[in-house]
Structure 1
Amino acid sequence: MKIRIIILLALFISTVATALWLGSRKVDVNTDKTVEGLSEELQEVFYLAALAPSSHNIQSWVIDVDPEKEIVEIQVDPERKLSVVDPEGREMYISLGCYTETLTRAFGAYGYQCKTEYDSFDKKMVVTYKKSSETVDEYEIELIKKRHTEKAPFDRTLLIPDDFLLAAIDDADICYYRAGSEEYDTIKEATAEAYEKQAYDEKVASELSEWLRLSEDEAIDYKDGLPAEQLGLKGIKKAIYYLFTDHESAKGDSFAKQGIDNTDRQLEGCNCFVTVSAGDDEEALIDCGKETVRFWLQMTARGVSVQPMSYVLEDRETRAHLTKAINLSQYPQMLLRVGYVKNYGANAGIRRDLKDYIRVK
């Protein structure tokens, strides 16, 4: 009996130790930056661009590069579309804008000047670039690498100064709402209701499950989607998540309830929401993505964390209702939760190999 107890105790200690070790280390997907036909410097530029945000981290872009003509063409990848929560491709085009803005910032950091233009016929962004300086802006590079989505509750005792927000808002289509305002309460309630509705929707849950990466091996194999780091899970929480969650259980009510509880904590730990409004056409949505990244990087520079919470915007009816309730002239296309955390952290760097989606002419 004593031997059995000792064996069981040893197994328990081993399991706990393994879990703690797994939870404490950061997964490294080791993105391959090599693309035949691109210089090492351009490979670095395109790697930085890949750190742009995208819904579910699906990285839904296809890139064509002509190094001789110094032209980049960026299009959405329809094979990576979220058909349930984004049937019209609204979020894909916002992500395309996020990528375009991050790309031009990365080019600028390496001394290139850029011009961007939208090709409405082929529905693609065209970026021309030309080297104008040998100076490398290390600060801008680190800023791009640092930007990430923060899903931990924010410290509500720390208020973002108005001048921080106003300095980052260079467009009338970006608005912010502090805790205590009627608009803030409306957004908070609508977001909680929209998330709960999605959480118990079988089709939404099934689609989300496809993009969850439920082990370090999955994260390394796919190099996209949502591993524990992308969900804000660290330490023992990350270890337990990987040990007890699989793709089938992620479709169930228990997983939905956990997601609802996490969202409620995020909303309670929030003292400011930001909306980015735009029209519904592809070019307007791309501009919305560009504006979002510009705002986000300015927040990153000031140590302010950001989390997109656009569940309420993924349904036309609830989006229209929210637009009217908070008195906006255009639809909000992005809804951001902003605030402070104790340790800002960095981008998890879960990104695909560049050659998987970059083609060189």
Structure 2
Amino acid sequence: MNKKVMIATIAAFLFILFGVGAIIFTIGKNANTQTNIQLERTSSDIEHALYYASFAANSHNTQSWKVNLDPKQKRLGVFLNNKRSLNVVDPNNRELYISIGCYIQSLKKSFEAYGYNVSISNIAPSKENKYQVVLINYQKLKNNKINNKQLDIIQKRHTDKRKFQKKPINRTVVSSLIKKYDNVYYYAKGSKTFKYLQKGSLAAAAKQYKSQDFLKEQGKWLRFSNQEAKKKQDGISGDMLGLNPIIKTFYYLTSNHKNATSNNFVKQSKNTLINQVENCAGFFVITGEQNISKWIAVGEKSQAFWYDCVRNNIAVQPISAMIEIPSYNQKLQQNLGKSQPVQLILRVGYVNSYGKNVGPRRNLKDYITVKK
């Protein structure tokens, strides 16, 4: 090979290399979605508190809540937005009400972080009251500084779909969590119950993946580009899946809403779940009674529990298939020997870098109405 040919070959290689690098950088970079937090007749600290509150746990990142804000009376009402419900996996709105409970707890902690005292009055949701679930009164405390540590915990809390370390969770931490929260149980990797939940989750998910209705509903909330995530400000983006830039680029280039029901997509989803349940330290299980008020209470408790997991560097991912498939759910409570139905199964483990919540969040004005 003469010198000119060699130089041309190297130049072509570098061109391709930098071209691929540019594609990965463009497609695989973090979406960095921006949320407009401005509201009419609302102070800056309330706007920020409401923004941080939106980082509550919620199924598929549907953000299925509405808020009426009355700045003069220092009051806000939280309502269910059933237009954002998951009718296939959650026909009774159980998960939706748990998500609302998570949002209520997140509101409480966010307002407290900005120096407000909060009192919450529960309301039975109905069609007549537009499915209002709580009325919250807030009052500014004197000489209170912003609690940045609390805000950091709120924003760090997220569903982590990556591989976890198999290292056991510190026994003292597990004991303190179980002691602090009623109806919370832990099953470490290697235990008989862990294996039951592991195998059951895979089997139940396999049944879900055979349903086109399930796949279509799941696909509706998946986001297949940074542009789509920025535009819709909800759903599950590649960033939320914990994909590194190279894998995220490949995922976005090969996946879309049309093939989200394909056999190849299902196969990859199954492999991902296998990888998840095999790479963790254990499962936490949270139980509760089957009615709306108790579902909301489970949500409030699980959000507070999750904050404590953040403080202890414990990554968390809900694994819901066994609860969502009736044939598995019917046996779950009995097989675990619990007095109440299982409401949440949480995969947990340690991670090297905890990360933060990178899920897109909707503009406040899109779901918050400010009273004149």
TM-score interval for Structure 1 and Structure 2 normalised by the shorter chain: over 0.9
Shift of 1:349: 4.0
Take 2:284 and 2:70, find their aligned partners in 1: how far apart are those partners? 37
The 8 Å contact of residues 55 and 155 in structure 2, kept in 1 or not, is answered as yes
User: Structure 2: which 5+ runs fail to align?
Assistant: none
The 8 Å contact of residues 164 and 350 in structure 2, kept in 1 or not, is answered as yes
Q: Give the corresponding residue for 1:26.
A: 30
Shift of 1:8: 8.2
Q: Give the corresponding residue for 1:177.
A: 187
Shift of 1:67: 1.3
User: Structure 1: which 5+ runs fail to align?
Assistant: none
Q: Give the corresponding residue for 1:162.
A: 171
Take 1:105 and 1:254, find their aligned partners in 2: how far apart are those partners? 42
Of stretches 19-28 and 243-252 in structure 1, the one that deviates more from structure 2 is 19-28
Q: Give the corresponding residue for 1:48.
A: 52
| Residue aligned with 1:230, SS | coil
**2:245 aligned with 1:235:** yes
Q: Give the corresponding residue for 1:305.
A: 315
Q: Give the corresponding residue for 1:271.
A: 281
Take 2:312 and 2:58, find their aligned partners in 1: how far apart are those partners? 22
The 8 Å contact of residues 209 and 251 in structure 1, kept in 2 or not, is answered as yes
Moved over 6 A (4+): 4-8
Q: Give the corresponding residue for 2:363.
A: 353
Shift of 1:35: 1.0
Alignment of 1:205-354 (within 5 A): 205-354=215-364
Task: Compute the TM-score of the two structures, normalised by the length of structure 2.
Answer: 0.92
Shift of 1:10: 7.1
Take 2:227 and 2:309, find their aligned partners in 1: how far apart are those partners? 33
The amino acid of 1:224's aligned partner reads: D
Q: Which residue of the other structure, out of 123, 130, 136, is the alignment partner of 1:127? A: 136
Deviations 1:25-61 (A, max 9, x none): 2111110001112110000000000000110000000
Take 1:111 and 1:95, find their aligned partners in 2: how far apart are those partners? 25
Matched residue pairs, number? 359
| Residue aligned with 1:231, SS | coil
Shift of 1:22: 3.2
Q: Give the corresponding residue for 1:112.
A: 116
Deviations 1:194-240 (A, max 9, x none): 11111231111111111111001000000100110112212210010
| Residue aligned with 1:250, SS | helix
The 8 Å contact of residues 56 and 225 in structure 1, kept in 2 or not, is answered as yes
Take 1:270 and 1:15, find their aligned partners in 2: how far apart are those partners? 37
Deviations 1:71-91 (A, max 9, x none): 111111011111111111111
Shift of 1:317: 3.1
Q: Give the corresponding residue for 1:61.
A: 65
The 8 Å contact of residues 57 and 103 in structure 2, kept in 1 or not, is answered as yes
The 8 Å contact of residues 190 and 322 in structure 1, kept in 2 or not, is answered as no
The 8 Å contact of residues 281 and 350 in structure 2, kept in 1 or not, is answered as no
Over the matched positions of the two proteins, sequence identity in percent amounts to 31
**2:42 aligned with 1:38:** yes
Who wins on radius of gyration, i.e. which is larger?
A: 2
